[in-house]
Amino acid sequence: MSHGPATYAVPGPSMVPQRVLRAMQHSAVNIYEGPLIEMTASVQKRLAQLANCAHAPFIYLGNGHAGWEAAIANIAREDATLLVLCTGRFAQGWAEMAEKLGITVEIIDFGTSAAVDPAQLETRLRRDNGKIAAVMLVQTDTASSVHNDIPAVRAAMDAAEHDALLMVDCIASFGCEKFDMQGWGIDVMVAASQKGLMTPPGITMNFVSDKALAARRALPRVSHYWDWLNRLDPEIFYMNFCGTAPTHQLLGLDEALTMIFEEGMEAVWARHRWIASAVWAAVSAWKPQLVCNVRDTSARSSAVTTLLLEGQGRTAELRHWAETIGGVTLGVAIPMPHPLAASHEMFRIGHMGHVNPSMMLGTLGTIEAALCALKIPHGSGALDAAARVFAAGPQPIG
């Protein structure tokens, strides 16, 4: 597509706003003195505010996988057991990483279309004999688009009177969905720059509680680059990053956070829910050939929607038409076991970060046009349904 702006409705990396790109436009940045030093402290402070975390986050150069490894490395003894709650593909990835680090992992699999059932977690924790060191899950699973109710998970752990750490991967949801580290009693949260934070891939964060820091202190040694303690209260600026600061990512993130706080955190979360609701309304009109993977609306992510299309061999054509003729890139399916895999194919619409109604109406309209052009049967009225959701305006997030 060489004319008109290209839209990326992909669940990460997400669209980078022009303001963020402009903020990054520097040939070089002084890492020894000058504005970067203060700006980094301000970025950390605002990230902590967005997460409602008591401490400044540890920022690593790396992608989300790096953030996963940092989190595991700082809390898990080799003889620990981690209980991983799986709702798609991403918590499994985190679990696989822990296993490769030699740590025992136990999985409770909730399938690929439903959220964690807190009652099942409570039952498991009640019969634990002190082996489980941490409970790990994602807030939004980017493959299935399942959203987990994190306070309900905390409540189940409290009901079982279990003192495991609670670790949440918010890589897809941070900056899109409400998160309240202190209010919800979270010990470790992992985020990254390239999704709701609207900044190119390259940095990842660990937000930690006092209890998580105590777990780190109980370990004899942690791989030097990952070690939280090396980065706690650094005497010299470079120690924040165990080396050169990610200068341009920080410049970008500084501007992205300015945008988020200009709009207001609550307004950002409400906008994401609003845009997601418009997508769901459109998909409901496309049924029965197209459906949302997650039936229960309370278990749906505000950042990404996974769709199931009846038949085989059509989603590649659909995405190709949308990208080359319509100018919008849609998300590919991430392979995961699914009960409808024999009869349906998946694709994803990303609606995270720098998105507004016109972009989403354009995306939905392009999908509608592609369905017509490719003679893929579908229900009618999708754009009308989406427009009505937009007309009703965003609803406050409780």
Residues that bind ligand PLP (CB under 6 A): 12, 63-65, 90, 138, 142, 169, 171-172, 192, 201
Cα atoms found within 13 Å of the Cα of residue 300, Cβ hemisphere only: 26
* Cα–Cα nearest to 259, from 198, 204, 177: 198
Radius of gyration, CA atoms only, the chain: 21
Q: Which is nearer to ligand PLP, 61 or 369 (CB)?
A: 61
**Spatial contact of 232 and 89, defined as CB atoms under 8 Å apart:** no
Q: Which is nearer to ligand PLP, 174 or 390 (CB)?
A: 174
CB of 53 to ligand PLP, least distance (A): 18
Query: Which pair of tokens denotes residue 112?
Result: 């690929």
**Spatial contact of 5 and 354, defined as CB atoms under 8 Å apart:** no
Q: Which is nearer to ligand PLP, 14 or 366 (CB)?
A: 14
Could you give phi then psi for residue 376, rounded to 5 degrees?
Answer: -90, 115
Q: Which is nearer to ligand PLP, 195 or 378 (CB)?
A: 195
**Spatial contact of 46 and 261, defined as CB atoms under 8 Å apart:** yes
CA–centroid distance for 250 within its chain? 19
Q: Which is nearer to ligand PLP, 81 or 194 (CB)?
A: 194
* Cα–Cα nearest to 361, from 330, 332, 384, 395: 384
97: helix, coil or strand? helix
CB of 275 to ligand PLP, least distance (A): 17
Question: What is the distance between the alpha carbons of residues 316 and 212, in angstroms, rounded to a whole number?
Answer: 44
* Cα–Cα nearest to 176, from 54, 267, 42, 52: 267
Query: Which pair of tokens denotes residue 103?
Result: 């740590």
CB of 137 to ligand PLP, least distance (A): 10
CB of 303 to ligand PLP, least distance (A): 8
CB of 185 to ligand PLP, least distance (A): 20
Q: Which is nearer to ligand PLP, 169 or 187 (CB)?
A: 169
Q: Which is nearer to ligand PLP, 94 or 321 (CB)?
A: 94
* Cα–Cα nearest to 307, from 321, 322, 295: 295
396: helix, coil or strand? coil
User: Which residue's Cβ has the minimum distance to ligand PLP?
Assistant: 64
CB of 398 to ligand PLP, least distance (A): 23
CB of 94 to ligand PLP, least distance (A): 7
Question: What is the distance between the alpha carbons of residues 154 and 364, in angstroms, rounded to a whole number?
Answer: 36
H or E element at residue 84: strand 81-86
CB of 217 to ligand PLP, least distance (A): 27
DSSP letter for each residue of 337-387: --TTTTTEEEEEEE--SS--HHHHHHHHHHHHHHHHHTT----S-HHHHHH
CB of 81 to ligand PLP, least distance (A): 21
Q: Which is nearer to ligand PLP, 40 or 140 (CB)?
A: 140
**Spatial contact of 182 and 32, defined as CB atoms under 8 Å apart:** no
Which residue type, as a one-letter code, is found at position 393?
G
Q: Which is nearer to ligand PLP, 190 or 370 (CB)?
A: 190
* Cα–Cα nearest to 149, from 119, 128, 175: 119
Q: Which is nearer to ligand PLP, 241 or 321 (CB)?
A: 241
CB of 64 to ligand PLP, least distance (A): 2
Q: What is the torsion angle, in degrees rounded to the nearest 10, for the CA atoms of residue 251, residue 256, residue 257 and residue 262?
A: 130
